[in-house]
Amino acid sequence: METIQLKDETKTKLTQIAHDIEKETGQPVNIDEVISFLIEEHLEKKKNWDQFELFLKPLKNISKEQLLNELKKGRKEDEKIISSN
């Protein structure tokens, strides 16, 4: 195992994440496990984004940002309809 240097602010944030994970799981976690958790979260988000980009690939003349905005707009409209029922 190697030693790494962290800024105090980073260590505080990692400790808070560890506390949150411990509350959710009821199991103690160390900083190494927190870092591993964050790496997995990052890789999962990247995978999801890559899949989203693959979904967008066939579309022409519309940017990813425009499509994402349209999806969000549609979601808000759906939520209004659902909440009014």
- Burial bucket for residue 34 (CB in 10 Å: 0-12, 13-18, 19+): buried
The average pLDDT across 12-39 equals 96
pLDDT at 23: 96
Report pTM: 0.58
The average pLDDT across 12-23 equals 96
Give the C-alpha separation, 77 to 61, whole Å: 24
Q: Under the phi-then-psi rule, with left for phi > 0, alpha for psi from -120 to 50, and beta for the rest, what region is 35? A: alpha
pLDDT at 39: 96
